[in-house]
């Protein structure tokens, strides 16, 4: 497929992400399956979509300096075409400048006529002439604006992280969020060990290396589609981020126990819990999304697990019937803003705002307090998120412990694998993109003492 078709598909995906708050990875996966693409074009389309989303903030800043109208007032298709074209010009060296400009102009004409083509041509060529001296905010005048533009994050989030992490660490985090996330697998310990899976992958020419923090993790570079990897259909592994893999060790489920995994779809942590239990016991799994539970069931079946019992339930309203019987361990994999996963989901930083943080924090507090009542005395409650805001993490746990005097906070370090014991902040588990090359994850391990 010609390169211009890749650009056209990329603009359509960017447009849907912006207009419908859609997930880029789902749209991209759909496009890759629907279109007949060479491996080179698949890689280009993926790079164009994620790159334009990662650097949208800086690109929009430059566009706002050169457009004679507001960026928000520009036609949505043309706006995203401009973003894509500038991403190619400013961040890629594989595509010649003239090709990126000409194709951008032709796409604009096709969708908006000669006037749209003239707009794209004029703006892009003016920016191209200033490519080596584009205006950036002065860090001395406004540090938040400078970091926001420089590392392409919304200013409200930069401000929040400056208060959470401080200047130096915040800039490192912002920079890390714009890097590509490695593809990480979790070896299915019920069907073999990590080394045997790694050898199988290496024998087929894949660059498979042990993940540094998780004893079951394998990292791959340039792997392509995960479902085409050797061992996928046989259930030898599950795709799961390395920080996410460590949550199962914090729960530490034992064979024969009754365990609840709440808000569990699509099932990465669920299937790991079942493996850690030796697939021996009762693992009750709930999620509000029926579609998400279908994905979970598919993963459970592929991995050959029999202890998992999924239910479509809104746990914020509590449990009823047999689901309300006491549990030995409960994992609250709370719905969150997902701001720890920006390497894989860069659109999240443009789709969330401070109101979402406040709304989610209230929901998280409600869920964890509701579910804690179903825990046996001496039982373990693990609260986990894939985000990096105090309101959704420490704030939720502190609020819970203030209200529920029958719980104490365990040190997460005590149940982490040896390799991961440094990933601790106080007694909490905290994985950070800029420190650990993982998604940002938070977890607290609490014990019911009475």
d(CA 170, CA 175): 9
| Residues near 338 by beta carbon (within 8 Å), at least 6 away in sequence | 345, 348, 352, 386, 387
- The one catalytic residue in 6, 263, 336, 386 is 386
Peptide linkage before 266 cis (omega within 30 of 0):
yes
**Token pair in block for residue 110:** 């096709």
d(CA 136, CA 141): 11
Q: How far is CA 369 from CA 150, 235, 316, 374, 441, in A?
A: 40, 36, 9, 10, 21
Known catalytic membership, residue 386: yes
User: What does DSSP say about strands 217-221 and 207-210: parallel, antiparallel, or unpaired?
Assistant: antiparallel
Active site positions, annotated: 386
């Amino acid at each position: 497929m010609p390169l211009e078709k890749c650009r056209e598909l990329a603009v359509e995906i960017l447009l849907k992400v912006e207009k419908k708050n859609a997930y880029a990875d789902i749209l991209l996966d759909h496009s890759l399956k629907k279109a007949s693409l060479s491996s080179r074009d698949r890689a280009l389309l993926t790079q164009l979509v994620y790159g334009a989303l990662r650097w949208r903030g800086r690109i929009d800043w430059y566009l706002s300096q050169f457009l004679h109208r507001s960026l928000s007032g520009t036609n949505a298709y043309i706006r995203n075409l401009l973003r894509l074209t500038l991403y190619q010009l400013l961040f890629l060296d594989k595509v010649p400048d003239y090709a990126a400009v000409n194709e951008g102009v032709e796409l604009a004409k096709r969708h908006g006529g000669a006037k749209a083509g003239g707009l794209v041509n004029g703006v892009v060529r003016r920016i191209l002439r200033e490519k080596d001296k584009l205006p950036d905010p002065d860090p001395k005048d406004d540090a938040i604006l400078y970091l926001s533009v420089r590392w392409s994050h919304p200013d409200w989030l930069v401000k929040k992280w400056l208060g959470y992490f401080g200047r130096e660490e915040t800039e490192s985090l912002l920079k890390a969020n714009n890097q590509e996330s490695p593809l990480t697998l979790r070896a299915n310990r019920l069907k073999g060990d990590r080394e045997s899976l790694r050898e199988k992958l290496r024998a087929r020419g894949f660059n498979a290396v042990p993940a540094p923090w998780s004893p079951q993790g394998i990292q791959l570079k340039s792997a392509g589609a995960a479902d085409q990897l050797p061992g996928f259909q046989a259930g030898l592994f599950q795709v799961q981020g390395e920080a996410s893999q460590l949550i199962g060790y914090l729960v530490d489920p034992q064979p024969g126990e009754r365990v609840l995994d709440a808000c569990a779809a699509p099932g990465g942590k669920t299937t790991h819990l079942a493996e850690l239990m030796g697939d021996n016991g009762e693992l009750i799994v709930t999620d509000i999304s029926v579609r998400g539970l279908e994905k979970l069931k598919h993963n459970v079946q592929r991995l050959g697990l029999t202890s998992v019992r999924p239910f479509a339930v809104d746990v914020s309203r509590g449990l009823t019937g047999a689901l309300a019987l006491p549990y030995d361990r409960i994992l609250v994999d709370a719905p969150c803003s997902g701001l720890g996963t920006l390497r894989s989901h860069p659109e999240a930083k443009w789709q969330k705002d401070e109101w979402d943080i406040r709304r989610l924090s209230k929901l998280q507090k409600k869920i964890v307090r509701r579910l804690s009542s179903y825990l046996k005395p001496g039982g373990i409650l693990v609260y986990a998120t894939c985000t990096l805001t105090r309101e959704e993490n420490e704030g939720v746990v502190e609020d819970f412990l203030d209200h529920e005097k029958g719980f104490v906070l365990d040190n997460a370090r005590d149940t982490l694998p040896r390799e991961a014991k440094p990933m601790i902040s106080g007694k909490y588990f905290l994985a950070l993109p800029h420190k650990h090359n993982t998604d940002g994850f938070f977890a607290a391990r609490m014990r019911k003492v009475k």
